[in-house]
Structure 1
Amino acid sequence: MTETLANVAGFIGMACIIFAYAYTTKLERPNPFVQHGVNLAGAVLLTISLLVHMNPASFVLEFFWMAIAIWGLVKAFRARSTGQ
């Protein structure tokens, strides 16, 4: 992956995470699929960029961010399947 493409992925990932945070803050009852799905996409994109521009602390942070987003998506799917 080129350095430019890594930077683009990182900036798009950052925009996803900022959007998800603003979305969650703005709405009374945000859609968890949007909230956690966009967070997951952002964390994946930032992780890709970190493979080129390694920052170990940020790399670990993105794995926690992905785990929390996946957890949120699993909860949302379970709630939807039980009709909650």
Structure 2
Amino acid sequence: MQLTVPDFVGFVGVALVVGTYFLSQMGRMDVRKPLYPGLNGIGAILILYSLSNTFNAASFVIEVFWLVISAAGLIRALLLKSR
């Protein structure tokens, strides 16, 4: 198996999504702060990019939802921060 650039980018995205989730579960990252949804959103974008190389419909759908939810969480975190 030869890794392509989109594969590598996708693995970075997976590392961001899984890493932030792990840190939140260990109490090391506050999910109410903008960093958590921001990193999750970036991770979803990177995974979506990787799907441009090897498309998978189910993965595409979940990453679109992940991106939308992360965007909503980021907006909420930024609004709460500005108060």
Mark yes or no: TM-score above 0.5: yes
* 1:69 Cα offset (Å): 0.4
Give deviations 1:13-71, integer Å, cap 9, x for gaps. 00000111011111176152221111011100000000110000100110000001000
Number of aligned residues: 80
Structure 1 residues 49 and 29, CA gap change in structure 2 (3 angstroms): closer
Distance, in Å, in 2 between the alignment partners of 1:45 and 1:73 is 17
Is the Cα–Cα contact under 8 Å of residues 20 and 34 in structure 1 kept in the other structure? no
1:27 aligns with 2:27: yes
Local SS of the residue matching 1:52? coil
1:49 aligns with 2:31: no
TM-score, with structure 2 as normaliser: 0.88
Segment drifting more, 24-33 vs 72-81: 24-33
TM-score, with structure 1 as normaliser: 0.87
Could you list the structure 1 runs, at least 4 aligned residues long, displaced by more than 6 angstroms after superposition.
none
Q: Give the CA RMSD over aligned residues.
A: 1.5
Residue in structure 1 matched with residue 63 of structure 2 by the alignment: 62
Q: Which runs of 5+ in 2 are unaligned?
A: none
Distance, in Å, in 1 between the alignment partners of 2:57 and 2:40 is 20
Residue in structure 2 matched with residue 13 of structure 1 by the alignment: 13
Which amino acid in 2 is paired with 1:4? T
Local SS of the residue matching 1:30? coil
